[in-house]
Structure 1
Amino acid sequence: MEAPWEISNAERSWYVSAQQSEATEAEELSPLLSNELYRQGSPGVSFGFSVFNLTNAIMGSGILGLAYVMAHTGILGFSLLLLIVALLASYSVHLLLSMCIQTAVTSYEDLGLFAFGLPGKMVVAGTIMIQNIGAMSSYLLIIKTELPAAIAEFLSGDHTGSWYLDGQTLLIVICVCIVFPLALLPKIGFLGYTSSLSFFFMVFFAVVIIIKKWSIPCPLPLNYVEQYFQISNATDDCKPKLFHFSKESAYAIPTMAFSFLCHTSILPIYCELQSPSKKRMQNATNTAIGLSFLIYFISALFGYLTFYDKVASELLQGYSKYLPHDVVVMVVKLCILFAVLLTVPLIHFPTRKAFMMMFFSNFPFSWIRHSLITLALNIIIVLLAMYVPDIRNVFGVVGSSTSTCLIFVFPGLFYLKLSREDFLSWKKLGAFLLLIFGILVGNFSLALIIFNWINK
């Protein structure tokens, strides 16, 4: 008797036949993608809009932590690491697309099912759920940190002790009144249009970082340094470092991996692409990763050249403290907060879907179950945002565990399992190196981060 998690004979036969024509399939439309577009009754999404959607999937709260990473790796060290992570992210997408064509599945969870049966599906779904919970908590942490300061900048007089200037109180009010009701809706497609503004907000943010580099003197005023950093201020602090490594460098690759993660969106976007082929989708991915790399690098570079070693782990904090009533900074802060606020309920959906696939995949839709799961997720991310002291902890732990798995480990492992190529082929060797890189870097970074916590 066949175990319930095993692939059916029909599916296995289709897979074997797909493997036999793998060389030509790389440029062909998979049957499942054709059916998907036929059901939609649409010719698909254009190449440009697919690039735009992928860029939105990549860009997120990680942009606020990369200047801190540059301060602890140096300009050249940061550039090299960021380029490596971007190239490996692009290569792992190449492996995912190859497996998508071979297996005709359109979700990351189903790739896990095809490779390792039900345990593989459960592990992938759990990893996606933890990754998204970390992403949502990082967004709420930004709201908790920046929203009180943004409100205070619009007020005159002394409002110390007011509830609307308390980050935790504002966080609870926003989650109860905005995030939870929006996440509770069974369909939330309209937020996709408003959240598409986030890319333009990120570009605006990078432009403001460039402009404000010449508005903040270096060395920083002594009272600012003493109040916020408790360290001395000197002219030597204004010299950029090309290479610099410290115990805080352990957050570098995890934060970068967190920042480039879009792999859970690749296959759904592939299904919607106009005239979908592996080459066309790979070009869209490379373009989106390239644009994200450029914006990430510019914002990190000029953020670092503004504050140098005194850059905060969340970049906006420095501008909030040094230029509290600057109109441009206030506008960009509101833009980032608006983008973050609308992104949180959107991330609820794949998170809840992953949870449902783990435990309730065979159950019909139930409003009670739907509401309870949404409420539980909301409570978890609020508690994390309230009690995690620093956003770099979210980037470090989530980036070194789930992000490295989704970008490096799973694509390499699944390709080694599913592909029937010779092990010495270039693709399998690349997949093996990607797997080893993910395991070593993820575990090493996580060990260093935990070691730093213990010492503190």
Structure 2
Amino acid sequence: MKKTEMGRFNISPDEDSSSYSSNGDFNYSYPTKQAALKSHYVDVDPENQNFLLESNLGKKKYETDFHPGTTSFGMSVFNLSNAIVGSGILGLSYAMANTGIALFIILLTFVSIFSLYSVHLLLKTANEGGSLLYEQLGHKAYGLAGKLAASGSITMQNIGAMSSYLFIVKYELPLVIKALMNIEDTNGLWYLNGDYLVLLVSFVLILPLSLLRNLGYLGYTSGLSLLCMIFFLIVVICKKFQIPCPVEVALMANETVNGTFTQVALAALASNSTAADTCRPRYFIFNSQTVYAVPILTFSFVCHPAVLPIYEELKSRSRRRMMNVSKISFFAMFLMYLLAALFGYLTFYEHVESELLHTYSAIVGTDILLLVVRLAVLVAVTLTVPVVIFPIRSSVTHLLCPTKEFSWFRHSVITVTILAFTNLLVIFVPTIRDIFGFIGASAAAMLIFILPSAFYIKLVKKEPMRSVQKIGALCFLLSGVVVMIGSMGLIVLDWVHDASAGGH
């Protein structure tokens, strides 16, 4: 390995360049989710050799400039945007309903800026540390503890993502079946029970796809997921102008679409509130559910495991060029999140549920447009769950038996165990809000605030600890610790309060 005048590393002729590809080629067909998954010990699991762009068994040191990138600037923006957007968008209206419009915009702005700053730290650390693998940076910085911290945080984040996807199946699939079959009385029908349907979808559809060694449909799933969320946003905006305030309709028309309107109207009358008061937007709100706002936002902006692989594949790669990719992607997602939260909130106000799509059925029933949205979302999340299982399984395989040959039995047992554990979470955790809250306060805070700044402080040697950059990274690290501990503490207190009140 020789270092050139520009500080970049080149492979000398006497070195084995095959270490960065299982067959010496770069078969990069679907960069979007592949990039997001590359950081999970892909150098040690044989099942990844034809699926990901990583070195063969990782015997060589992985440097930041092993091969030139091939992905255009525009496609990189698409890839990173797709890595950011996810099921968290369904909980943003709930966050706004419990913070108010102004406070939500302030929090959204700060979280997006902090997330972008952490990307800056991560890219600079990758250049200085000579690695484009998140876990490898952790190992270089703090040894096994750093590697486990990075791997554990990414795994927790992926389990949270899987759980949120299966929660959508639990919430939405019964409503789709009910609408398609035109069923009025749902009592005693097992196929309208969300828990049964989650188990059925998991082990009939998701499990066979998850057992595959190579997920060839990966890129199509990525594009479908992003298009689905854009379609969802369009529908949310359109519905705002079609649905009058629920309480106003119930009080003035004295008729309901379903029982929910009646309950809302009675509650409003009992509290001597008027339709105008109930349907008036509020700008600052503080209540017991406000504590979930920051975790939901951090959960929604986590994309950091995908940043380094996307950076690796960027054509004419440079840190400034990748930061421009990040700025455009984060700004686009900022606008998308703001519009989804705002129009969802202005449609239902304080009646927004923790999963926005479910609110439409609870308040206004189901029409053709909502049915199409639900079907699109269900298809997207069902096809995405196997993609999320893949890196978790790779990490578990590496930790338990890193040197053993591939075994279908071990491969199947780990896959079934991961899927079964996630199903138990979805069945027994009361709401998707708890998943957003817990994962956002723990794993997301680690990936956005704590790990990038900790790696930066340790690995970037050319800047002294008293420099503005290092002091800024240290303050960022401490703020992440405060956010994580504070959010987790308040969420646990809310759980205890709900349990004592019979809520959980």
Q: Same fold (TM over 0.5)?
A: yes
Q: Distance in 2 between matches of 1:35 and 1:214?
A: 57
**Residue 5 of structure 1 corresponds to which residue in structure 2?**
none
**Residue 474 of structure 2 corresponds to which residue in structure 1?**
432
**Residue 240 of structure 1 corresponds to which residue in structure 2?**
281
Taking structure 1 as reference, are residues 31 and 260 closer, same or farther at Cα in structure 2, changes over 3 Å only?
farther
One-letter amino acid of the structure 2 residue matched with residue 449 of structure 1: I
Q: Distance in 2 between matches of 1:114 and 1:361?
A: 19
The question of 1:204 aligning with 2:204 is answered no
**Residue 415 of structure 1 corresponds to which residue in structure 2?**
456
Deviation at 1:301, TM superposition (A): 0.2
The question of 1:167 aligning with 2:194 is answered yes
- Percent of aligned pairs sharing the same letter: 43
| 1:66-215 alignment runs, 5 A limit | 66-158=92-184, 160=186, 161-215=188-242
The question of 1:455 aligning with 2:481 is answered no
One-letter amino acid of the structure 1 residue matched with residue 144 of structure 2: L
For residues 22-80 of structure 1, the C-alpha deviation after alignment (integer angstroms, 9 at most, x for no partner) is xx76xx68879998598417751111111111111111110010001001111110001
Taking structure 1 as reference, are residues 330 and 228 closer, same or farther at Cα in structure 2, changes over 3 Å only?
farther
**Residue 444 of structure 2 corresponds to which residue in structure 1?**
403
Deviation at 1:325, TM superposition (A): 3.0
**Residue 294 of structure 2 corresponds to which residue in structure 1?**
253
For residues 164-195 of structure 1, the C-alpha deviation after alignment (integer angstroms, 9 at most, x for no partner) is 21111111111111111111111113232233
Query: Which structure 1 residue ranges, 5 or more long, are not aligned?
Result: 1-9
Contact 1:30 1:101 in 2 (8 A): no
Deviates more, 1:228-237 or 1:357-366: 228-237
Taking structure 1 as reference, are residues 329 and 419 closer, same or farther at Cα in structure 2, changes over 3 Å only?
same
The question of 1:224 aligning with 2:260 is answered yes
The question of 1:339 aligning with 2:380 is answered yes
Contact 1:397 1:446 in 2 (8 A): yes
For residues 184-223 of structure 1, the C-alpha deviation after alignment (integer angstroms, 9 at most, x for no partner) is 1111132322331211111111111111112221243445
Deviation at 1:103, TM superposition (A): 2.0
The question of 1:58 aligning with 2:44 is answered no
For residues 75-110 of structure 1, the C-alpha deviation after alignment (integer angstroms, 9 at most, x for no partner) is 110001011111111111111111111122121111
Q: Distance in 2 between matches of 1:275 and 1:239?
A: 51
Q: Which of 312, 315, 321 does residue 271 from structure 1 map onto?
A: 312
Deviation at 1:418, TM superposition (A): 1.1
Taking structure 1 as reference, are residues 286 and 357 closer, same or farther at Cα in structure 2, changes over 3 Å only?
farther
Taking structure 1 as reference, are residues 39 and 385 closer, same or farther at Cα in structure 2, changes over 3 Å only?
same
Q: Distance in 2 between matches of 1:119 and 1:197?
A: 37
Contact 2:221 2:384 in 1 (8 A): no
**Residue 253 of structure 2 corresponds to which residue in structure 1?**
none
Deviation at 1:334, TM superposition (A): 1.3
Query: Which structure 2 residue ranges, 5 or more long, are not aligned?
Result: 29-68, 251-258, 499-504
| 1:240-319 alignment runs, 5 A limit | 240-319=281-360
The count of corresponding residues between Structure 1 and Structure 2 is 436
Q: Distance in 1 between matches of 2:313 and 2:19?
A: 11
Instruction: Name the one with the larger helix percent.
Output: 1
Contact 2:101 2:282 in 1 (8 A): yes
**Residue 40 of structure 1 corresponds to which residue in structure 2?**
26
Q: Distance in 2 between matches of 1:30 and 1:392?
A: 48
Q: Distance in 1 between matches of 2:246 and 2:207?
A: 44
Q: Distance in 2 between matches of 1:44 and 1:368?
A: 37
Q: Distance in 1 between matches of 2:287 and 2:74?
A: 41
Q: Distance in 2 between matches of 1:105 and 1:76?
A: 40
Residue 99 of structure 2 aligns to a residue whose secondary structure is: coil
Contact 2:129 2:460 in 1 (8 A): no
Contact 2:246 2:261 in 1 (8 A): no
Deviation at 1:404, TM superposition (A): 0.2
Deviates more, 1:196-205 or 1:224-233: 224-233
Q: Distance in 2 between matches of 1:309 and 1:331?
A: 26
Taking structure 1 as reference, are residues 426 and 360 closer, same or farther at Cα in structure 2, changes over 3 Å only?
farther
Q: Which of 380, 399, 417 does residue 376 from structure 1 map onto?
A: 417
TM-score w.r.t. length of structure 1 = 0.90
One-letter amino acid of the structure 1 residue matched with residue 96 of structure 2: M
Residue 247 of structure 1 aligns to a residue whose secondary structure is: coil
Taking structure 1 as reference, are residues 430 and 225 closer, same or farther at Cα in structure 2, changes over 3 Å only?
farther
Deviates more, 1:248-257 or 1:426-435: 426-435
Residue 224 of structure 1 aligns to a residue whose secondary structure is: helix
Over the aligned positions, Cα root-mean-square deviation in angstroms equals 2.4
Residue 40 of structure 1 aligns to a residue whose secondary structure is: coil
One-letter amino acid of the structure 1 residue matched with residue 460 of structure 2: S
Deviation at 1:158, TM superposition (A): 4.1
Contact 1:59 1:260 in 2 (8 A): yes
